[in-house]
Amino acid sequence: MVKDLPDFRIEAVGVGLEATSFRSGLDAAKPASPAKGDVWLATDTTILYVAFSAGSWTDIGALYLLLAGGTMSGAIAMGTEKITGLGDPTAAQDAATKTYVDDAAGLPNSASTPSRAIDTIYQNTTGNPILVSVVIFLDGATNERASIKIGSASPPTTVVGQARKVGGGVSQNTHTFLVPDNWFYEVLTVTSTPTISNWVEYP
């Protein structure tokens, strides 16, 4: 079937031209060397071809991203618009939603004051890293000391903080440290009798 289209104009990806003819038939039956402006609708594959230049066909559908999906050959500029309705990523280069990233990062949005004691090993079983803030009270002998340790095994061995009393009077030392998921942590006595006056965790 051939139909002249003198008033039909084709626009695609910034390219425009006047159509010279519109034909349809099997994909394999389209002319091997079309004239510029020829249009062919393949009835068996439902592909629309346009000859933007003489001698070659262009699959119009390949110029656009289909609703069913496809592969991009260049960057997409969103122009400050959002991508919505994303599923959770499964591969390293998949896009992720804000909620997924926040949950994975374990960003603290609340505080708890669990009952904690000095010289006792605890384990972070929240599923995320936690921040721990401890106030260590020193009122004993000069050079009274406490140490904070974390580690992937029990007992923890990595020192991340120390509290030490120098001279007379009393001293309070505040320490904040990060505990990875499943790691162990402890505030332990080094010398004399330090105590815990406050303990806050941010899960």
Kindly report, residue by residue over 16-64, the tens digit of the pLDDT.
667 678 888 999 999 999 998 888 999 999 999 999 889 999 998 877 7
Rounded to whole angstroms, the Cα distance separating 182 from 150 reads 11
Q: Is the pTM of this model over 0.75?
A: no
Residue-level pLDDT at 75: 85
One DSSP character per residue, 53-115 reads ETTEEEEGGGGS--TT----SS----TTPPP-SPPPP-STT----HHHHHHHHT-----B---
Tens of pLDDT, residue by residue, the chain (203 residues):
544 445 556 665 555 667 678 888 999 999 999 998 888 999 999 999 999 889 999 998 877 777 887 788 888 888 898 888 899 999 989 999 888 887 777 666 789 999 999 999 999 999 889 999 999 999 877 789 999 999 999 999 999 999 998 877 788 999 999 999 999 999 999 999 999 999 999 98
Torsion of CA 190, 194, 198, 199, to 10 degrees: 20
Both structure tokens of 169: 């009077």
Separation between Cα atoms, residue 88 and residue 91, nearest integer Å: 10
Rg (CA), the chain: 35
Instruction: Output the pLDDT for position 9.
Output: 60
Task: State the chain's mean pLDDT as an integer.
Answer: 87
